[in-house]
Amino acid sequence: MKEGLANKSIYRKDYKVYPWDVGQLDLHFDIARESTTVRTEMEFQLKDGEQAKQDIVLNGSELQLESLSLNGSELSGDDYVIDGETLTIPDAPAKSVLKTEVRIQPASNSALEGLYLSGAFLLTQCEAQGFRKITWFPDRPDVMTTYRVTMEADRAEFPILLSNGNQEASGELPGGRHWVRWEDPFPKPTYLFALVAGDLALVEDHFTTRSGRDVVLRIYVESENLDRCEHAMQSLINAMRWDEERFNLEYDLDIYHIVATNDFNMGAMENKSLNIFNSKYVLARPDTATDADFQGIEGVIGHEYFHNWTGNRVTCRDWFELTLKEGLTVFRDEEFSADMQSRAVKRIRVVRDLRSRQFPEDDGPMSHPIRPDRYVEINNFYTSTVYQKGATIIRMYHTLLGESGFQKGMKLYFDRHDGQAVTCDDFLAAMADANGVDLERFGRWYSQSGTPQVHVSDYYDSASRKYKLTLKQHTPATHDQKTKQALVIPFTCGLLTNNGEELPLQLEDETEAGPGTRLLVLEEMQQEYTFVNVPEAPVPSLFRDFSAPVKVFYDYSHAQLAILIAFDSDAYVRWDAAQRMAQDVILEQCHRHSKGQEMRLDPSLLKAFRGTLSDRAADPALLAEAMIMPDEDYLAEQMEVVDVDGIHVARKFIKSGLANELEELFAERYADLNDGLPYQKSPEAMARRALKNVCMSYLQDTQAGESLITAQLESSDNMTDSLAAIKGLVLMDSPMAGKALSQFETRWSEDALVMDKWFAMQAMKPGCDSLGRVRELMKHPAFSIQNPNKVRSLIGVFAMLNPTGFHAADGSGYAFHADRVIELDGLNPQIAARMASAFNRWKRYDESRKKLIKAQLQRIAAADNLSGDVSEIINNALRSDGE
Ligand SMILES: [Zn+2]
């Protein structure tokens, strides 16, 4: 795909300022599916202080160059040099007007970068480097300019023609054609450019900003989806209001467009005033989308909207700084969701995701700091580390500076940098200067990879009534970095009595006791804290609200965990204690199973579950989270050598043991929650459904399970309940499962998004017959290897969420998956690379599996014309085998 570029690393330290300012970019598109002509006119002005006679360097990829002229004269092949993806015009005059004309082929663009076809319309995806597939231009985020975009096309085929900014003019052309011109007054980098052309329907609403600007809001979808946009529109309005109230940030144009497509590599894209979304994050109706989908839509709509300031108005200097916009914007969308829904539940879900995806990434062959120092293919660095860990680092600023200090820093950041392309150092400086604090050591979080470990030990002296807490930090070496430094780790904690009461806290050098939650800041490798006037040996409540992205080690007894589960004031700590206890118990049974010993159900876990199930005061969504067992992949991460089948058997044993011992309580709670009321979308109703369906997931392991699930399926009026029921039947291997799946298929066969769920629940079903089923499903008419959502739902779910299927001992899952990676690489390297990363944890399996995976990695590495995307992932994985 990218001959000559594979494996060529780009380094952060090599950054050089682009010597030219680009005055304005005039783009003219003559649009057709098979072949679109793009003409540009742009003015290059040498920056002040640059030496005269600089080269003009442009980026382009897969473009058919028709003409190129400089200051009015046509250039011939001798006047410029094309080398790979760059075009260089040597020694250009200090003021140079450049005109280009190229042809591109949208309909045959299967990589979904640049201009491509989706259903009945054409659209663009430019982040990170898709603009170079549209025309020759300096395709880098620090080159910002204003855009004037004129599109002409056949009116019947392309009635809607959209781009960024405001529509300035339009008109008719002979032969049933028409044209439209858009102008965006805000200078922007190429990655925020967007264009949409085709036959789309729209829903419209309005939002009046705090200063009185009337903004037209439009969501464009294919006409059959018009009745599924209400939630997305409401989420957008909520996000606009929230950003004014919480961050004092207003929208800055008169129009805001969202376009939904079924063919998209990512979740959504924040192009200035013309967001393009994977339809998964727009379309929802109670009968087609689950509560998780509704919450996902709210979060992603918010995320892309919030980028208008954190990303678009202030953008990144280069792609190494990606976390500057992504970490910050994920933090903002997490806060938005927390304010809209339940703060505690949102926090737990964020932590679960970070621990099960980012921690393994940071411990594997792709380990990198949130601001990487090198990459081969930037698309491979849209990672959980850059996004989710990046967001927790922004959250640590917030924890250390408080809401008002944090907002002071944000204000200074915008005052200094509005309209600029900047770095994480600039963000840190704004936070430090606005608060008059030194954050230099805190800045290490940007350059150090790996998950720090904090080891906690304690000592209580009953004579002096003193309690000493010792914290030691240690970050294990990672593939990319051998030595690690001490980090600044905010450590929020409390102390409980053995009756579960929270103690007021007083440190040795303080004159009186303060509140029961204390923020300690660990800055050295080891620090000690002595609390005085502690009446008894307390139970430490550690890392409240998950105050840093670290692994915490403290030798909790089950009795201590039980106290935290029942009484702690912090929802995260309660949840974490429940997870720790379940994890201990499951891993112990896994160990017993491997030695041929009988497994047993632990009485303290049983007691904790009994307490949780009987808790009528707490938020049902929190109780649901506490009872969801750690998943198999997370458990696998806790083992030295992963015992794939042992984990599966032990987890299943514990879950069904709890279900059978506590059947009455589960059934009683289920019956209370299963109130038969019509569907409601409120957070309270979602919380009740969450707990109800967790209860059902346990009851599926009991005698009464099947009839209860069937009854739920028959009476359900929403996708959350229906899907939970069908999944239950599939997982329990019920004879009813086949019928339920085929009814679901008949009802939704025309609906791409709902069919994704149908594929996913079958791909997820554990056991050795998984692969045969996945192979069959690939032949289904609704499946397409060209569609990223389908690939993720079937192939991605099999490889990443079905450990017993993917890791089948004969290696069949690995061979199948390697075939898919190679096949996908010829179509869509970005998606192929995502799929290839399923092999990243290969070193953690037994010798026989390691050998099998390594052979597949080598087979992929040897494939013809491998893209830079996939070869970076595969070579890193192989290199982690000791060079
Ligand atoms: Zn983003």
What tens digit of pLDDT does each residue of 732-777 get?
A: 999 999 999 999 999 999 999 999 999 999 999 998 899 999 999 9
Report CA(325)–ligand 1 centroid distance (Å): 7
Report CA(329)–ligand 1 centroid distance (Å): 6
The predicted structure's pLDDT at residue 155 = 98
Report CA(326)–ligand 1 centroid distance (Å): 5
The predicted structure's pLDDT at residue 768 = 86
What is the mean predicted confidence (pLDDT) over 269-291?
Answer: 98
The catalytically annotated residue of 101, 304, 326, 377 is 304
DSSP 481: B
What is the mean predicted confidence (pLDDT) over 703-727?
Answer: 97
Residue 524 has pLDDT above 80, yes or no: yes
Q: Which residues contact 779 (CB under 8 A, 6 or more apart)?
A: none
- pLDDT digits over 806-856, tens only? 999 999 999 999 999 999 999 999 999 999 999 999 999 999 999 999 999
Stretch (H or E) spanning 587? helix 571-594
The sign of the dihedral angle between the CA atoms of 669, 675, 681, 682 is: negative
Residue 881 has pLDDT above 90, yes or no: no
Cα 45 versus chain centre, distance? 39
Chain mean pLDDT for the chain: 97
Cα–Cα distance for residue pair 364/358, rounded to 1 Å: 10
The predicted structure's pLDDT at residue 126 = 98
Q: Which residues contact 594 (CB under 8 A, 6 or more apart)?
A: 643, 646
What is the mean predicted confidence (pLDDT) over 1-5?
Answer: 40
| Strands 20-30 and 145-154, sheet pairing | parallel
- pLDDT digits over 51-62, tens only? 778 999 999 999
Cα–Cα distance for residue pair 542/642, rounded to 1 Å: 28
Nearest Cα residue to 719 out of 420, 208, 296: 296
Q: Which residues contact 427 (CB under 8 A, 6 or more apart)?
A: 324, 328, 413
Q: Locate 702 and state its tokens.
A: 């009991």
The predicted structure's pLDDT at residue 7 = 66
Q: Locate 616 and state its tokens.
A: 């009528």
Report CA(336)–ligand 1 centroid distance (Å): 14
Q: Locate 867 and state its tokens.
A: 């893209």
Q: How confident is the model at residue 532 (pLDDT cuts 50, 70, 90)?
A: very high
Q: On the CB side of 266, how many CA atoms lie within 13 Å of its CA?
A: 19
In SS3 terms, 619-685 reads as CHHHHHHHHCCCCHHHHHHCCCCCCHHHHHHHHHHHHHHHHHHCHHHHHHHHHHHCCCCCCCCCHHH
Q: How confident is the model at residue 883 (pLDDT cuts 50, 70, 90)?
A: very low
pTM score over 0.95: yes
Report CA(342)–ligand 1 centroid distance (Å): 22
Report CA(387)–ligand 1 centroid distance (Å): 8
> Could you tell me if 593 and 607 are in contact, meaning their C-beta atoms sit under 8 angstroms apart?
no
| Burial of 76: CB neighbours in 10 Å, binned 0-12, 13-18, 19+ | exposed
Report CA(415)–ligand 1 centroid distance (Å): 22
What is the mean predicted confidence (pLDDT) over 559-572?
Answer: 98
326 is catalytic: no
Q: Tally Cβ neighbours within 10 Å of residue 376.
A: 20
The predicted structure's pLDDT at residue 4 = 42
Report CA(767)–ligand 1 centroid distance (Å): 36
- pLDDT digits over 385-418, tens only? 999 999 999 999 999 999 999 999 999 999 999 9
Cα–Cα distance for residue pair 552/493, rounded to 1 Å: 12
What is the mean predicted confidence (pLDDT) over 512-535?
Answer: 97
The sign of the dihedral angle between the CA atoms of 353, 354, 356, 361 is: positive
Cα–Cα distance for residue pair 240/332, rounded to 1 Å: 12
User: Which residue has 């280069």 as its token pair?
Assistant: 318
